[in-house]
């Protein structure tokens, strides 16, 4: 189906501690070249920008091989419905910028923002080892960088609030700079001038893990939304 996001696993499975990679990069590539995710054992943030790029806590950004595995990833093709120039954009007002062009509360939207960012705050985790700590503990030890005047691209998705146990509600964005040496999960950003491109997505296809660990895992989390907000921000 056209205009579909293909998602491997769910955000609550990741938040519940299922960090093992079970989906290959090669398999995910079949469904698109735009998106985001994380790598095996939460070793790094994955930016899907034609290549699958991994940005981790203590190494340079690298291109992932087809045999490497992922616990969670969202991919799609990206053919923008609209490309516009915007001014004075930041994470807190991105909703208003996008809502100017389309009603987005009830649909998924693939989003790309390109330009020079006045300030950018990104994070990258370190690889974990079994028995895995909680996801909150993992990101208490992450590398957080705040950089200024950096040129690159934000890639990600808008997810409606009522899909919050499927994916990250609101904007979920990853960054890659033009040199492909700096990347990570976006905590905050601001840009005086940027290019906004978006594509409305009417379909989400879910591939669930087939591992024994997934099948037996209790995925009910009473504090799921709190945990996601802690981890994402």
Each residue of 49-71: pLDDT tens digit? 999 999 998 878 999 999 999 99
Strand partners, 205: 6
CATH topology of domain 4-232: 60s Ribosomal Protein L30; Chain: A; (3.30.1330)
For the chain, domain boundaries: 4-232
Q: 3-state DSSP call for residue 230?
A: helix
The predicted pLDDT at position 165 comes to 77
Task: For residues 69-78, give the mean pLDDT.
Answer: 98
CA distance 142 to 71: 18
pLDDT band of 166, cuts 50, 70, 90:
confident
Residue pLDDT, tens place only, 195-215: 999 999 999 999 999 999 999
What is the structure's pLDDT at 227? 66
Q: Tens digit of pLDDT for each residue in 9-51? A: 999 899 899 999 999 999 999 999 999 999 999 999 999 999 9
Query: In a 10 Å sphere around its CB, with 0-12 CB exposed, 13-18 middle and 19+ buried, how is residue 148 labelled?
Result: exposed
R_g of the chain computed on alpha carbons: 16
Residue 224 has what pLDDT?
A: 63
Residue 170 has pLDDT above 70, yes or no: yes
Percent of the chain whose predicted confidence (pLDDT) is above 70: 94
Q: What pLDDT sits at residue 223? A: 67
What mean pLDDT is predicted for residues 66-91? 98
Mean pLDDT of the chain: 93
């Amino acid at each position: 189906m056209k205009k579909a996001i293909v998602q491997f696993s769910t955000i609550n499975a990741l938040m519940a501690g299922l960090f093992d990679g079970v989906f290959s990069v090669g398999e995910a590539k079949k469904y698109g070249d735009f998106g985001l995710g994380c790598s095996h054992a939460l070793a790094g943030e994955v930016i899907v920008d034609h290549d699958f790029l991994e940005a981790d806590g203590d190494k340079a950004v690298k291109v992932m091989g087809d045999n490497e595995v992922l616990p969670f990833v969202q991919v799609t093709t990206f053919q923008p419905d609209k490309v516009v120039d915007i001014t004075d954009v930041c994470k807190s007002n991105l909703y208003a910028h996008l809502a100017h062009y389309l009603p987005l509360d009830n649909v998924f939207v693939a989003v790309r923002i390109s330009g020079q960012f006045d300030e950018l705050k990104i994070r990258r985790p370190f690889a974990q080892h079994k028995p895995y700590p909680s996801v909150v503990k993992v990101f208490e030890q992450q590398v957080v960088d705040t950089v200024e005047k950096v040129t690159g691209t934000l890639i990600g998705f808008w997810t409606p609030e009522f899909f919050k146990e499927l994916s990250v509600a609101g904007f979920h964005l990853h960054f890659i700079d033009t040199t492909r040496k700096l990347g990570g999960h976006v905590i905050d950003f601001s840009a005086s001038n940027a290019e906004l491109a978006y594509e409305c997505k009417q379909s989400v296809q879910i591939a669930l893990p087939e591992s024994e660990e997934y099948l037996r895992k209790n995925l009910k989390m009473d504090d799921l939304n709190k945990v996601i907000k802690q981890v994402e921000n």
